[in-house]
């Protein structure tokens, strides 16, 4: 191994807060860490984030990789930039040029502060309406749609000078278990995987700088190991059969799909043995150290020297092609109109919804205070929705904590049109068969399959999405999006 092959060269970590404190800097230097993933806890303002990235780059060195999950929709950490739409909103709009422009805008936001790696686009084909973790993060349920928009997203990020990372290889779209919480399985034949899950990943490899692995068991490929730890998948399929020569990074090894079954240190080494270049060793300091110490020990003999050298070369090439330098000439606010337009283009009518007459009295039923869940941010709260709809209607608000407490006879007693706004990440069985006059789906689009009513789908809850809904309610705009999944 080279002198640069400290264990941290093969691990990505997170840091505790919005500044790089001396203790954390010493930790990164001790192990030779070159890659950091940022989260909401690290982000306060543009100036603060730019300073943090500069401080990180000084410690991580010229091969610094500073990453963020910056997908759009619910997966956006900073709240000071215009919000980009979710992938499924773009799939509904089905305008590849628009998808490319939106991805370039996302890249511009990151590059303006010095973040050089975006963990996007999502290439999962969301064929399961019950999927608890992908949903509107996917472009749709059709491999061709996902491939078309994935190609556009890759082009947009490349044009902005930010490295993309497609995920979650080889496909997280047909799971009913969230790998943050348990270890999913996809029991499909190789032929079925080829036709659906594999298609976007395989077809877009020539434009793909990096691939993120899925913590999922695919028995048709490897009946023992999840993809993240499977040499058959990461080396046999991805490298040898498909010829991928970019970077392979694991999803977070702190997710229960891995941590509960293997433990941090051993899992990190297994991932590198399988063919990953970089292990995402996120979490508390002792968990990071468990991975770093185990990798350091394995570099002494267990890990293949030639393969580790190849990993270093791939990581070096990625960092050199996409340097982590802030471009202060970029102005993300300039893309506000583009992103508002993109949200509006995806707005989709389901079962011919008709808005109540502006100025009339309506009853609004909405979640009092949605909460943040694992990877996704919290949806809009009931008071905010009531205040905004108050620009169009005289609103009687009925907030709920959980949908099973909604008293539908009481809601209907006044005789007003009843609007149900769903703003939760997950579908809820208590909403199956309920019959408001209008359903506004502001988060999980598959909720329209449960609620027995005409619906307007916004594929997200961000202010730009809500503004598009208001314009539709006022009769100022239409809803020309095409539902990107089967309605039955």
**pLDDT tens, the chain, 488 aa long:** 453 458 999 999 999 999 999 999 999 999 999 999 999 999 999 999 999 999 999 999 999 999 999 999 999 999 999 999 999 999 999 999 999 999 999 999 999 999 999 999 999 999 998 887 899 999 999 999 999 999 999 999 999 999 999 999 999 887 766 656 667 888 999 999 999 999 999 999 999 999 999 989 999 999 999 999 999 999 999 999 999 999 999 998 876 657 677 778 899 999 999 999 999 999 999 999 999 999 999 998 999 999 999 999 999 999 999 999 999 999 999 999 999 999 999 999 999 999 999 999 999 999 998 877 766 777 889 999 999 999 999 999 999 999 999 999 999 998 999 999 999 989 999 999 999 999 999 999 999 999 999 999 999 999 999 999 999 999 999 999 999 999 86
Q: Considering 63, 174, 178, 251, which one is annotated as catalytic?
A: 251
- The question of whether 203 is a catalytic residue gets the answer no
- Within 10 Å of residue 43's Cβ, how many Cβ atoms? 18
Cα atoms in the 13 Å half-sphere on the side-chain side of 204 = 32
Q: For residue 187, what are the contacts with CB-CB under 8 A and spacing of at least 6?
A: 219, 220
Whole-number pLDDT of residue 162: 98
pTM, two decimals, is 0.95
Whole-number pLDDT of residue 309: 96
In this structure, what are the phi and psi dihedrals at residue 38, rounded to the nearest 5 degrees? -95, 150
CA angle 282-235-165, nearest 5°?
45
Whole-number pLDDT of residue 374: 65
Q: For residue 481, what are the contacts with CB-CB under 8 A and spacing of at least 6?
A: 89, 92, 93, 94, 345, 346, 347, 348, 349, 457
Whole-number pLDDT of residue 5: 58
């Amino acid at each position: 191994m080279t002198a640069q092959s400290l264990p941290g060269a093969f691990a990505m970590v997170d840091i505790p807060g919005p500044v790089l404190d001396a203790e954390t800097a010493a930790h990164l230097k001790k192990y030779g860490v070159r890659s950091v993933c940022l989260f909401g806890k690290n982000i306060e303002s543009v100036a603060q984030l730019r300073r943090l990235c500069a401080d990180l780059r000084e410690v991580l060195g010229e091969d610094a990789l500073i990453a963020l999950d910056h997908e759009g929709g619910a997966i956006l950490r900073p709240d000071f930039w215009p919000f980009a739409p979710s992938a499924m909103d773009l799939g509904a709009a089905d305008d590849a040029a628009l998808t490319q422009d939106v991805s370039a805008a996302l890249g511009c936001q990151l590059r303006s502060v010095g973040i050089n790696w975006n963990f996007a686009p999502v290439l999962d084909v969301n064929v399961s309406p019950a999927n608890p973790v992908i949903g509107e993060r996917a472009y749709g349920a059709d491999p061709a749609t996902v491939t078309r928009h994935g190609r556009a997203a890759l082009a947009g990020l490349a044009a902005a000078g930010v490295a993309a990372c497609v995920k979650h290889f080889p496909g997280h779209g047909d799971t009913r278990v969230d790998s943050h919480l348990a270890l999913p399985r996809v029991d499909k034949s190789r032929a079925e995987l080829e036709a659906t899950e594999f298609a976007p990943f395989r077809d877009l490899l020539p434009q793909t700088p990096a691939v993120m692995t899925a913590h999922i068991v695919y028995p048709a490929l490897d009946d023992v190991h999840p993809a993240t730890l499977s040499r058959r998948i990461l080396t046999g399929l991805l490298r040898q059969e498909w010829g991928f020569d970019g970077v392979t990074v694991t999803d977070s090894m702190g997710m229960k799909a891995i941590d509960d079954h293997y433990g941090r240190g051993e899992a990190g080494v297994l991932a590198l043995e399988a063919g990953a270049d970089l292990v995402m060793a996120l979490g508390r300091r002792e968990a990071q150290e468990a991975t770093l110490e185990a990798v350091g020990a394995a570099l002494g003999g267990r890990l293949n020297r030639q393969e580790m050298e190849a990993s270093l070369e791939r990581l070096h090439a990625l960092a050199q092609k996409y340097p982590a330098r802030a471009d202060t000439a970029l102005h993300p606010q300039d893309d506000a109109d583009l992103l508002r337009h993109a949200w509006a283009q995806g707005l989709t009518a389901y079962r011919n919804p008709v808005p109540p007459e502006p100025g009339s009295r309506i009853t609004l039923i909405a979640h009092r205070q949605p909460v943040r869940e694992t990877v996704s941010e919290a949806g809009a709260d009931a008071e905010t929705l009531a205040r905004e709809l108050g620009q169009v209607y005289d609103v009687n608000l009925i907030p709920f904590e959980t949908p099973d407490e909604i008293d539908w006879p009481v809601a209907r007693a006044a005789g007003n049109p009843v609007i149900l706004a769903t703003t939760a990440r997950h579908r809820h069985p208590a909403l199956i068969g309920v019959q408001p006059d209008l359903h506004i789906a502001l988060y999980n689009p598959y909720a329209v399959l449960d609620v027995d009513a005409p619906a307007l789908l916004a594929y997200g809850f961000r202010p730009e999405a809500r503004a598009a809904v208001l314009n539709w309610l006022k009769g100022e705009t239409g809803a020309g999006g095409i539902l990107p999944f089967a309605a039955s």
